[in-house]
Structures are given as structure tokens and as C-alpha cells.
Amino acid sequence: MKILISGYYGFGNIGDEAVLEAMLEGFRKRDTTVIRRGDFFKTLTEIANCDIFVSGGGSLFQDATSSRSFLYYIGLVFLAKLFGKKVMIFAQGIGPLRNKINRLIAGFILDRVDLITLRDEDSRTSLVKMGVRRPPIYVTADPAFLMTVPSASGGGQPQLGISVRNIAYCPDMEDKLFRRLAESIDYLVEKHKLQPVFILFRNPEDKLKASKVMEMMKHKSQVVFKDGRPNEMLSLFPHFELVIGMRLHSLIFAALCRVPMLGISYDPKVRAFMKAIGQPCVNIDEGSGRMIELLEETLKNKEAVKRELESKNKSLYDNANFNFDLFFRTFKGVK
């Protein structure tokens, strides 16, 4: 069985690389190849030579970034089916797809794959609205929940982890959001004596945005970027008292390490994840007052939050593993 994995890999995004590492570990005893955006003819050759085409994880089928990105990834799925290959959509988040034509294309092609697993219930709802009925669809969990949680060493000033990113579809909102975020961070420094630490999941993009927030703050902060493997980034999280995250995987890493958190929903996938784990989330247009209110409530109930995250992690781990159970059950006869 030769497995070909397609996704947004090799571009320095720690969240996507965490997903890939977990997938490769799950398929470790199989002949597995990863394709990245590049040589189209090499990609065609790999599709022709594989037995099963796996698309995911992450959020590949969305047009918030651009329609071109969506058409590329959905086009690979279409090519795999044209070549007569078995196709699995693996633990993906679907959307947002704002363009009606893109929704029609996604519905037509995804209705013809062999198996779909999704990381949230909202994605299933999106597929149903697109008319996807034929393939089995399961809501599982992001493969990153299979990562090993590091232990924390005690001591030092309590830290506040912060992950920011650009808002591609709404750049005018960025300055307003970052100013409100800066106010909230300054409040936490003054009221709770937390040391702000900006964590960069993609460099240099996140560094530029972190710098903007830092310029708006009254208090000094640190910037940490682990230019290496995802588990090195994960090793920072047990040291945080609290995490404020825009990047989805900053929130997933916080959940893994049982760190109380607040999500900032620049994308529906963030709110969907926070809803699934029962943790607070604000939209990008909400004021600093609401942000501070939720942060205060989270800190006040932090021990209860940690216990809740501990209970959620077991089911999330099992659901992440279920992606592979479904894969091998569905394709056990493929050689």
C-alpha cells in the first residue's frame, strides 16, 4: 500500500508540520510520500503511482486565503479520482468558502471521495450544505492531539503566551484588534504580574504582527520562535499561566498542556475548536472590555479549566487516533 499525502507542508508553519508529523507516525509502517506545492509533473507522477491519496489535515478547502489555493488542493483530489485512486480527506476543517462557484466545485468533487474525517462539527454541517452525501463522514480530531505532552519545570515569573497572525481577508481590522489586544495584555501585566511572551508559529509573518502589538503596549515583552520541530514549540506551553491565541494550533497546544486560554476568532475554525472544548473565544471586532472580562473569568477559574481540559484531552486523543482506525478499516484490501 503506497500512501500519498497532500497538504500545506514545507512552508515553515509549525501547526501544519505538527499535523504532518502525527500523520507520518500513524502511517509509519507504510510506504508514505508527501507532496508539496512545486513541480506539477512530479506531482502527477506521484498521484499515478500511489494507491491511496490522502488530503489533509489542516484547512485546505477554503478561499479566505485565495481561490487559487482552494482550486489547487481540490484539483489534486479531482486528479486522484481521475486516476482511479482511493481518496481520503483526513481530519480537515472545511471552509470558509465564500465564493458560490467554489462551494459547488467542492461539493461535486468531495461527494466522490471514499472517506472523509473532519476536525469539527461545523465542517460536517458545511459539507452537508454543499450536498456531500455519498462518502462516510466522521467528526474526529486534529492529529496534533497525538503529540506527547512535555513536563514543565517550575519557577520564574508566570508567563502569558500570545500567538498573533495577519487577517488576510480583513486587513483594516488588524490595527483595531491589535490595539485592543495590547490593552488587554498591559492589563494582565499590571493586574496579574504576567510576563508576556509572543510565540511565532510562522516566521517572519507572525514576527511582523507581534512587533505591531508590542509597539502598542506599555510594557516590555519577549518573543520566542523555535525554528525547529513542533515538539520544541510545544515544550514552551507548560510554562504558560494563560494563552491568548489567534493561530489554531497555539490553542491546540494549550489544550494539550492543560493551559487556560482565550481564542481570537479570525477564522471559523478557531471558534469551532473553542466551542468543541468549551473554552472562551472572542471575535476580531469585539472590544478590549469583553476580552479582559473573559480573561479575568478564565484566570479566576483556572483550576477548573485545567480539570476540564484534562477530561477533554482523553477523548480528543482517542478521536485523533480514530482517523487512522477508519483509514485502515476502509482501505484494508488496497495493495
User: pLDDT averaged over consecutive 10-residue blocks of the chain (335 residues)?
Assistant: 92 92 89 84 93 92 89 96 98 94 98 97 95 97 93 79 87 90 97 96 92 96 80 93 97 97 94 95 93 97 96 95 96 83
C-alpha grid cell, residue 99: 465564493
Look at residue 249 in the predicted model and tell me its pLDDT: 96
What domains can be seen in the chain, in order of their start residue?
2-139 (3.40.50.11930), 159-313 (3.40.50.2000)
How is residue 47 written as a grid cell? 498521484
- Give 159-212 pLDDT, tens digit per residue: 999 999 998 767 778 999 999 999 999 999 999 999 999 999 998 899 999 999
pLDDT of residue 155: 64
Region label for 139, one of left (φ > 0), alpha (ψ between -120 and 50) or beta (otherwise): beta
What pLDDT is attached to residue 156?
Answer: 75
State residue 153's pLDDT score: 66
Cβ contact 284:265 at 8 Å? yes
Burial pattern 103-125, b for ≥16 Cβ within 10 A else e, equals bebbbebbeebbbbbbbbebbbe
Q: Which residues does 305 contact at the CB level (< 8 Å), separation at least 6?
A: 260, 279, 298
Residue 300 CB-density burial (10 A; 0-12 exposed, 13-18 middle, 19+ buried): exposed
Report yes or no: 116 and 135 within 8 Å, Cβ to Cβ: yes
* pLDDT at position 169: 67
Which pLDDT score is estimated for 154? 64
Cα-based distances in Å from 315 to 145, 198, 235, 330: 10, 29, 22, 22
Please return the burial class of 193, using the count of CB atoms within 10 Å of its CB with bins 0-12, 13-18 and 19+. Answer: exposed
Take residue 189 and report the three cell numbers written for it: 501585566
Q: What is the pLDDT of residue 157?
A: 85
